[in-house]
A and B are shown apart, each in its own frame.
Chain A
Amino acid sequence: MSLQSLTKDLTGFFNQKQYQKCLDIIPKVKLELLKQGLLGNIDENKINVKDLEVTRSILEIGSLSVINLSKDGEFKNYIDQLRPFYQLKDLSPSDNQNKLMALYLLLLLSQGDLATFHIELETFQSDGLTIDELEKDKFLYFPIKVEKWLIDGDYNKLFEILNQDPEKYPCQEFNLFKSSLVDAVRFEIYKNLVKAYQKLPLDNFKNLLFLRTNDDYDSFIALFQDELNLSIKNGFVHLNDVSQLDFTEEPTDDALLIRNVLSYAREMETII
């Protein structure tokens, strides 16, 4: 099959949201692209801009397909493949660029990889964009706000935005991260509660964790069964702080002092 007809099939399936079928075709398309020197080591001077734009849109379809099928690892690969295309100044800007980057940032957040998250934000500075300018972008504002509130501990705003009407999301793909983000946030809150409260009425406990229904509560307890450490008595949740009970064996003051002084003495000896 020729590249044209393959691409046509691909966009057809993609528009019908048949992502699995897209994935079946993509390897063939990529092979054709490789044969034409449009993938891998690209020689900018030899290839015309239109061809590169087509390659870019094929990769974008691929990345959107894998993310819709929740294949996180493959999605990262696609982002890495797309990156050089976004850096080429000759191509017309792609509508999908910020959307894909926003998705990538959300993925990093849901995996708790904050260091990479911030590294990615820095790269936008090459285009002269600082974080508060990125916040005005209709896709990128979402992950940035989420991260900010996560760090601030402003969780009710976070839940407001996560639980808003799915239609209001800048794009449908953001929904994919909703449940993993919500779980991550709830566990964060729980860890805060453990440190801040000794006991809490059960209802308030549920409220603070945004566990609106009993099903939510049960699934939360089931999900973090191993890590939770709480007991419920008379309608009160007792949060037993493990870290306070866990006394590790430390050398006593005297022993520590002696050891330090001995090491100073050794050093002094070498000086004299």
Chain B
Amino acid sequence: MSSTTEETIPTNEDIELRFQLIQKSVSHFDPRFTLKVFRELGPLRRRLDVNSLLQVVEKNYPQDENRQYLKDILVKLGAHSSQEGDHMEVDSGSVNTVLPEIDIFIHVLILIYLHDHKEIKLANKFVPFTISALKSYNRRTLDYISSRAWFYIARIKELAGELTSIRPDLLLALRTSTLRHDIGTRASTITLLLRNYILSNDINQASNLVEKTEFPEDASNALVARYYYYLARIHAVQLAYSTAHNYAVTSIRKAPQSELATGFLQTATKLNILVELLMGEIPSLDTFRDPKLEKSLLPYLAVTRAVRLGDLNLFNKALAEYGDTFKDEKNYNLVLKLRQNVIKTGIRIISLAYTRISLKDICIKLHLDSELSAEYIVAKSIRDGVIEATIDHEKGYMQSKEVLDVYSTREPQSVFDERIKFCMQLHNESVKAMRYPLSANRIDNKNAPDNKDSEEELLAYSLSVFDDEL
């Protein structure tokens, strides 16, 4: 399907073309064709209109089918029935039953349409129908489509502000999909539930869910990236910063590299920056220079600067200026926790610059209230491993220990070891993630043109794995 044909053929026929792919997928038990349908959904999504949807519905469902509500909702949106006098009539008589996959796919299309045209109220009414339709089927070829359906259901409920009411349905879907080994739906319902809990600030529930469920290993990359992002969020709240950092980095690495995922990448990077700062590390400057992220990261750059310089006044200024942005992004509490890191970084800089400095000077430099405060804070920093120093209480100064030459320790060796292990692991994971064509071509080698076709298909698929829509 090249882009030129997509523009010329009518929308309803375009939809029909996808039905053929889905049918092919069902008859071959090969999810690749369904994946292809969703991968190329973008252009179709932009030109969906009610009339063609209605035509498709009328054509594909038998007359007495109990899917009357599909027509009703489309008519409510202003679609004109074109059944009379159209060539469709002939076809509609011949349809006896509709494929479950196509049935759900039509539901998804309508959900997408309602979502894109901001018809949230209507969409909210349509959701229960979709859920009951989803519940009525149990077919493995349906997995991918239904995981998409759940995504839009949850999104619409979220926009309608009904976060709590959808939870039981999602939990039920999670249970059913786990029992049926339906990886797609399972992974997507887990991430949707986590998102739901985190949006309503119910971190406790979210962390319980993570503990009680096992995220399917071979879920699609976009879902894995989301899952790790939520894990990072949960751990950041629980003060487990280094775990949170690991998850955030994995999430960023796994995130799709396409344009569509920029929003996700921005959010994940923001979280990662904060977590790094909270761990006492300064994120590298090129993170902020990435053209895709640069603009949205400005507030975080300001905070990073303040922390790096250890300047509490600068920090408060950044907080005053960008406070609302942080609140919108739900990062405000994390930013507030950074305040103590500003002091710690300050102490670290002082300890590097001076071999011996009086507590009084520290107190002045860091804008602390009293010498006693300074003494306690320095002692705490020593214990937390921020600086290597001792305090002489009688003479009232802090004495830094001589900085060791790192290359005389085991440190470089262990960092090197970590990197090698990471590369090995990456290689192993890539091998595992590779897909091999079905054994069909081994049996039937003569069928050359068909072979070539499936090869191309496979190539397109493997490319798509990397930029699967988020």
Cβ of B202 < 8 Å from any Cβ of A? yes
* CB atoms of A260 and B417 under 8 A apart: yes
* CB atoms of B383 and A191 under 8 A apart: yes
Q: What size tier do the contact residues of chain B reach?
A: 35 or more
Set B381, B393, B427: member contacting A200, Cβ < 8 A: B393
* CB atoms of B239 and A197 under 8 A apart: no
Residue of B nearest to A268 (CB): B424
Cβ of A245 < 8 Å from any Cβ of B? no
Chain A residues with CB under 8 A of B237:
115, 118-119, 122
What is the total number of residues of chain A having a CB less than 8 Å from a CB of chain B? Answer: 42
Alpha-carbon distance between A156 and B379 when the two chains are bound, in angstroms: 13
Binary interface profile of B, 31-60, with partner A (CB < 8 Å = 1, else 0)? 000000000000000000000000000000
Q: Report A139-167 residues with CB < 8 Å from chain B CB.
A: 148, 151-157
Residue of B nearest to A120 (CB): B204
Q: Report B321-351 residues with CB < 8 Å from chain A CB.
A: 327, 330, 332-333, 336, 340, 343
Q: Report B183-228 residues with CB < 8 Å from chain A CB.
A: 200-204, 207
Q: A132-B336, A151-B340 are in contact. Are A196 and B427 (CB under 8 A)?
A: no
Cβ of A33 < 8 Å from any Cβ of B? no
* CB atoms of A118 and B239 under 8 A apart: yes
Q: A152-B380, A260-B417 are in contact. Are A198 and B390 (CB under 8 A)?
A: yes
Mark the stretch among B154-162, B262-270, B365-373 that contacts chain A.
Answer: B365-373
Q: A125-B201, A192-B376 are in contact. Are A264 and B420 (CB under 8 A)?
A: yes
* CB atoms of A253 and B238 under 8 A apart: no
Set A123, A156, A192: member contacting B373, Cβ < 8 A: A156
Min CB–CB distance A206 → chain B (angstroms): 12
Alpha-carbon distance between A130 and B237 when the two chains are bound, in angstroms: 13
* CB atoms of A196 and B390 under 8 A apart: yes
* CB atoms of A192 and B369 under 8 A apart: no
Chain A residues with CB under 8 A of B389:
196
Q: A119-B204, A122-B203, A198-B390 are in contact. Are A157 and B373 (CB under 8 A)?
A: yes
* CB atoms of B377 and A154 under 8 A apart: yes
Chain A residues with CB under 8 A of B393:
197, 200-201, 204, 208
Min CB–CB distance B457 → chain A (angstroms): 28
- Interface of chain A, helix or strand or loop or mixed? helix
Chain B residues with CB under 8 A of A132:
336
Chain B residues with CB under 8 A of A197:
379, 390-393
Chain B residues with CB under 8 A of A125:
201, 330, 333
Min CB–CB distance A95 → chain B (angstroms): 23
Alpha-carbon distance between A16 and B424 when the two chains are bound, in angstroms: 70
* CB atoms of A153 and B380 under 8 A apart: yes
Alpha-carbon distance between A154 and B381 when the two chains are bound, in angstroms: 11
Q: Report A255-272 residues with CB < 8 Å from chain B CB.
A: 256-257, 260, 264, 267, 271
Q: A152-B343, A153-B379 are in contact. Are A253 and B201 (CB under 8 A)?
A: no
Alpha-carbon distance between A124 and B330 when the two chains are bound, in angstroms: 12
* CB atoms of A192 and B239 under 8 A apart: no
Alpha-carbon distance between A192 and B385 when the two chains are bound, in angstroms: 11
Residue of B nearest to A200 (CB): B393
Cβ of A126 < 8 Å from any Cβ of B? yes
* CB atoms of A264 and B372 under 8 A apart: no
Binary interface profile of B, 398-420, with partner A (CB < 8 Å = 1, else 0)? 00000000000010010001001
Alpha-carbon distance between A135 and B336 when the two chains are bound, in angstroms: 12
Cβ of A195 < 8 Å from any Cβ of B? yes
Chain B residues with CB under 8 A of A115:
237-240
Alpha-carbon distance between A124 and B237 when the two chains are bound, in angstroms: 13
Cβ of B394 < 8 Å from any Cβ of A? yes
Cβ of A3 < 8 Å from any Cβ of B? no
Residue of B nearest to A121 (CB): B333
* CB atoms of A193 and B330 under 8 A apart: no
Cβ of B382 < 8 Å from any Cβ of A? yes
Cβ of A131 < 8 Å from any Cβ of B? yes
Q: Report B297-331 residues with CB < 8 Å from chain A CB.
A: 327, 330
Q: A125-B201, A196-B378 are in contact. Are A156 and B340 (CB under 8 A)?
A: no
Q: A121-B333, A198-B390, A260-B417 are in contact. Are A192 and B200 (CB under 8 A)?
A: no
Chain B residues with CB under 8 A of A148:
340
Q: A130-B336, A253-B410 are in contact. Are A192 and B201 (CB under 8 A)?
A: no
Alpha-carbon distance between A233 and B239 when the two chains are bound, in angstroms: 40
* CB atoms of A122 and B333 under 8 A apart: yes
* CB atoms of A195 and B376 under 8 A apart: no
Residue of B nearest to A117 (CB): B239
Alpha-carbon distance between A192 and B390 when the two chains are bound, in angstroms: 11
* CB atoms of B391 and A152 under 8 A apart: no
* CB atoms of B333 and A196 under 8 A apart: no
Chain B residues with CB under 8 A of A194:
383
Alpha-carbon distance between A119 and B205 when the two chains are bound, in angstroms: 10
Alpha-carbon distance between A153 and B341 when the two chains are bound, in angstroms: 12
* CB atoms of A119 and B382 under 8 A apart: no
Residue of A nearest to B199 (CB): A126
Chain A residues with CB under 8 A of B413:
253, 256-257
Set A126, A156, A195: member contacting B382, Cβ < 8 A: A195
Cβ of A114 < 8 Å from any Cβ of B? yes
Min CB–CB distance B405 → chain A (angstroms): 16
Alpha-carbon distance between A78 and B378 when the two chains are bound, in angstroms: 40
Chain B residues with CB under 8 A of A184:
none
Select the residue from A116, A124, A152 with max chain B CB neighbours within 10 A: A152
Taking A130-B333, A152-B340, A253-B410 as known contacts, 9 extra A-B pairs with beta carbons closer than 8 A to each other, sorted by chain A number, are A115-B240, A119-B238, A130-B332, A131-B333, A154-B373, A192-B379, A196-B391, A201-B394, A256-B413
29 cross-chain CB contacts under 8 A? A118-B239, A119-B207, A122-B237, A122-B333, A123-B201, A130-B327, A131-B332, A148-B340, A153-B376, A153-B380, A154-B376, A154-B377, A155-B376, A157-B369, A157-B373, A189-B376, A192-B380, A193-B379, A196-B379, A196-B382, A197-B379, A197-B393, A208-B375, A208-B393, A253-B410, A256-B410, A256-B413, A264-B420, A271-B427
B interface residues (Cβ-Cβ under 8 A, vs A): 200-204, 207, 237-240, 327, 330, 332-333, 336, 340, 343, 369-370, 372-373, 375-383, 389-394, 410, 413, 417, 420, 424, 427-428
By Cβ-Cβ distance, the 8 closest A-B pairs, closest first, are A153-B380, A115-B238, A196-B379, A192-B379, A195-B383, A196-B382, A119-B203, A125-B201
